A and B are shown apart, each in its own frame.
Chain A
């Protein structure tokens, strides 16, 4: 029999996971990716909360409806000329009393390169299985719940909202451009059509999925040299060495996550 058997039931595991989610804090990442025909630079952050734990023997902890709150900020730049057609002001003629008839030349507008910043915050829920993973690295024992497999993230609604946000952001950026007025709506529509929901999903999925697929919740973390009693002068600290740890889900009249710990003096 191991030196210590520590067990936690599903109710306790729920609390444990909530604490582990909070301890995970805010995850951040950045990079670049495809937004339809454009290249976007992005930064994103995510936090996790909620979910209910279902312990399934022999080694599965199923977390249902875990909520990932995220913020994605991205910018993409392009030559507006590639989106909207050339636009030219016609020749304008007036009669100037002391000069005579004067005509300006046809003026073709040079659309600039624009950079559109978009930021979007929302959440998505997912259900995933986790397996306990016991490691001893750098003199520290850890038991992590590591996600198994890639859960499907339902990002459709978020993509639809982001397309709207892109349109609004584009309108804001384009509005001050001289002579854009008559073609502003066309330009915004062309931008959102070029990207499309598929383009947004193509950017959003690869951004958010790694936050989920890389999830590890730490449910146990102790140094291998485990302090029983702290030093209290004139007495030294009292330590034992944790020599082995195993983790599994055990099913009896209820399901429990069980850690077996061995140590030596």
Chain B
């Protein structure tokens, strides 16, 4: 459930997309892994108003019966707002697929002005790469602290509230290597890309 793979979003991830053009955005939620499907049913909407914004708008994804639902199912935002999808603990892995007047978007293929966050739960060295083209890659070193040491425990609790940013532009990740503690969140912000994934290299067949 906490695998580093933007192709499947879980409760330790968020996916964000900035919508700059006014109009209607329709999207659906699909369970991962995503297969090629015709986009005939996009039940959730985002109305992008003309007025300028720049705020964050949250959408909660959860399971209702057998279906994934977005809460709120209809969202009104200002142009330039960021919509951030996140899920509850019991939600299976999912992806967000939609279309707007500017074109289609898919959380499993990150493009410009999109964001993927991941909270790392298990210490280790994570070499990540784009599963489609191997166009970009990097390393996240996840360390641990001795929770029995009160001083280290306090340090760790404070660190949990601090995020680490990696900006991806084309085939470059900046910084390409970061170090965090178990429990901390890394923000992978894609400023320019044709459609990449952030995937643990061990998940990709050689």
Residues of A within 8 A of B (CB): 89-105, 107-110, 176-186
Contact = CB atoms under 8 A, between A and B. Distances in A.
16 contacts: A96-B165, A99-B16, A100-B82, A102-B56, A102-B84, A103-B56, A104-B163, A105-B58, A107-B119, A177-B121, A179-B121, A179-B183, A181-B147, A182-B145, A183-B147, A185-B147
B1 to A, nearest CB: 7
A183 B14 CA distance: 24
Contacts of A108: 89
Contacts of B148: 185
A91 to B, nearest CB: 7
B123 A181 contact: yes
Which of A89, A97, A180, A181 has the largest count of B CB atoms less than 10 A from its CB?
Answer: A181
B147 A184 contact: yes
A110 B92 CA distance: 13
Interface in B135-193: 144-145, 147-148, 153, 156, 160-165, 167, 182-185, 187, 189, 191
B26 interface: no
A90 B90 contact: no
A178 B161 contact: no
Nearest to A178: B121
Contacts of B54: 100
A92 B86 CA distance: 13
B115 interface: yes
Contact of B144 (A98, A104, A181): A181
Contacts of B89: 108-110
B160 A99 contact: no
B12 interface: yes
Nearest to B148: A185
B122 interface: yes
Given A97-B191, A179-B121, A182-B153, 17 more contacts: A89-B183, A89-B185, A92-B184, A92-B185, A94-B164, A96-B165, A98-B18, A99-B16, A99-B115, A100-B54, A104-B86, A104-B185, A105-B58, A105-B86, A178-B122, A181-B123, A181-B183
Nearest to A90: B161
Interface residues of B, number: 42
Contact of A182 (B12, B14, B167, B183): B183
Interface of B: 1-2, 11-12, 14, 16, 18, 54, 56, 58, 82, 84, 86, 89-90, 113, 115, 117, 119, 121-123, 144-145, 147-148, 153, 156, 160-165, 167, 182-185, 187, 189, 191
A110 B11 contact: yes
B120 to A, nearest CB: 8
Given A109-B89, A176-B122, A181-B183, A104 B14 contact: yes
Contacts of B84: 102, 104
Given A92-B163, A97-B191, A102-B16, A107 B11 contact: yes
A190 to B, nearest CB: 14
Contacts of B82: 99-100, 102
Nearest to A87: B183
A104 B54 CA distance: 16
A96 B189 contact: yes
A91 B86 CA distance: 12
A179 B182 CA distance: 7
Given A90-B161, A182-B153, A101 B14 contact: no
Contacts of B113: 98-99
A239 to B, nearest CB: 73
Contacts of B1: 110, 178
